[in-house]
Amino acid sequence: MHFTIDTNKFVTSVQHANRAVTSRTTIPILTGIKISATTEGITLIGSDSDISIETYIPYSDEEREYMTVHEEGEMVLQAKYFSEIVRKMPGETLTLKKDGQMAATIESDSVIFNLNGYDPENYPRLPQLEEDHVIQLPQHLLKDIIRQTVFAVSTQETRPVLTGVHFEIKDGKLTATATDSHRLAMRTIGVEAEETLEINNVIIPGKSLVELSRILDDAENMITIVVTSTQVLFKMENLLFFSRLLDGKFPLTSNMIPSEGKTSMTVSTKALIRSLERAMLLSREAKNNVIHLRSNGPKEIEISSVSAEVGKVKESLSTSDFDGEELQIAFNGKNISDALKVIDSENISILFTGAMSPFVVRPIDHEQMIHLFSPVRTY
């Protein structure tokens, strides 16, 4: 293998592939990135066996040619070193040449690296997916869905299904749901898919979605999503992102959302975030984040927090459209502010169903997002 390539173009591609590589893998060859060169272009693959990313640099596009391939071939090079080396190369182009059986010479301007690698024959093959279940979304929308749900996944391995975001397609609507059993984030959108297409219990690991979202653009470009029973594939231009799906049954969440409550109100999203952040300043080592909320007539609520060793805080916040009973409730403030931060609307409505039962937060200007929280019992 021997090629010379535009450094910037190559670096971007290597970095994308490198997103899938972790140093903590039990399979040594997966610490490497696989590079395949043909006269048509160069393919890079990184994988940690849960996530695999394949990027492709075509020989040329409408604008220009990016490379000269002197000799076709394959290599696997240590991602940790390789990605840093190419990033720090000084020249506009760099040359990569196979040097012996498994090693490579990487040159740019007067810099020469010799890097040992692995036998490419031993690199695992990426899954081949049956494209029976396919949907299409604009990238920016997928990026939004991820941002607005993935923060709510569980970080505990005790219930693995909760570490993923659940995707469901029904009646032309896609619903993404994440919950750690104390809070739940749900986002709905209309999708372009065959009308008969129904997908249920597809649980994508939160970690995969976080990585994917770092690659996604805020652009209108369409992304194609292929789902099988064990894998999901996100297809973009010159990039394939594979993730394994989580095994198990996601809790049935549709009937958890209460439609009627005892107390409801509208508050400014930003004002509530700021108020909660102030109240959480006293939480010792961010351990508890228990915030108390009390209605104070129809026009305002009181937000307060007490930390035995540190001190206490109290403030009032104006509300509108107050309806129902007086209320006093305690909750994890961090969970609420996490959710408020992904709500892009100016105002939210909160529907309480009692001091010891779940409450619902939603933007007031559309119906496509619901956040559900359980309160905290204080002693």
Partner 1 sequence: MPNQEFQLPEPYRDTSRKIIHIDMDAFFSSVEERDNPSLKGKPVIIAKHPKKTGGKGIVSTANYEARKYGVHSAMSAYKAYELCPNGIFIDGNYPAYREASHQIREIMQRYTTLVEPVSIDEAYLDVTHNKKEIPSGTIIAKQIQKDIWNETRLTSSAGVSYNKFIAKIASDMDKPAGLTVIPPEEALSFLRQLSIEKFHGVGPKTAEKMHRLNIFSGEDLYQMEQMDLISNFGKAGISYYNRVRGIDNKPLCMKRERKSVGKEHTYFNNLTTDQEVLDELWQLAKEVVRSLQRVQKHGKTVIMKIRYRSFETVTKRMSVPYYLDEPEEIFNQAASLWEEVGTIEKGVRLLGITITNLDPIEYKPITLF
Q: Tell me how far apart the alpha carbons of residues 314 and 284 are, in angstroms, rounded to a whole number.
A: 16
Residues β-bridged to residue 134? 226
| Beta carbon nearer to partner 1, 83 or 263 | 263
CB neighbours of 207 closer than 8 A, spacing ≥ 6?
A: 50, 51, 163
Q: Which stretch binds partner 1 (CB under 8 A): 81-89, 141-149, 199-207, 371-379?
A: 371-379
| Beta carbon nearer to partner 1, 101 or 379 | 379
Residue 41, token pair as written in the block: 């272009």
- Least Å distance between CB 115 and partner 1? 36
- For position 290 contacting partner 1 by CB under 8 A, the verdict is yes
List 332, 337, 343, 360, residue binding partner 1 (CB under 8 A): 332
- For position 330 contacting partner 1 by CB under 8 A, the verdict is yes
List 181, 200, 229, 320, residue binding partner 1 (CB under 8 A): 181
Which ranges of 199-308 does DSSP label H, i.e. alpha helix? 206-215, 269-279
Residue 368, token pair as written in the block: 């496509």
**For the purposes of burial, counting CB atoms within 10 Å of the CB of 252, is it exposed (0-12), middle (13-18) or buried (19 or more)?**
exposed
Classify residue 195 by its DSSP letter.
T
Q: Tell me how far apart the alpha carbons of residues 12 and 90 are, in angstroms, rounded to a whole number.
A: 15
Residue 272, token pair as written in the block: 């509530």
List 53, 142, 184, 236, residue binding partner 1 (CB under 8 A): 184
**Number of chain positions touching partner 1 (CB under 8 A):** 27
List 49, 122, 156, 200, residue binding partner 1 (CB under 8 A): 156
List 101, 158, 196, 259, residue binding partner 1 (CB under 8 A): 158
CB atoms inside a 10 Å sphere around CB 298 = 13
- For position 256 contacting partner 1 by CB under 8 A, the verdict is yes
Site residues for partner 1, 5-24, by CB under 8 A, read none
- For position 128 contacting partner 1 by CB under 8 A, the verdict is no
| Beta carbon nearer to partner 1, 19 or 183 | 183
Amino acid at 16: H
Q: Tell me how far apart the alpha carbons of residues 16 and 10 are, in angstroms, rounded to a whole number.
A: 10
List 7, 288, 305, 319, residue binding partner 1 (CB under 8 A): 288
Q: Which helix (H) or strand (E) holds 79?
A: helix 79-87
- For position 358 contacting partner 1 by CB under 8 A, the verdict is yes
Instruction: Give the residues lining the site for partner 1 (CB under 8 A).
Output: 155-156, 158, 179, 181-184, 251, 253, 256, 287-288, 290, 308, 330, 332, 356-358, 372, 374-379
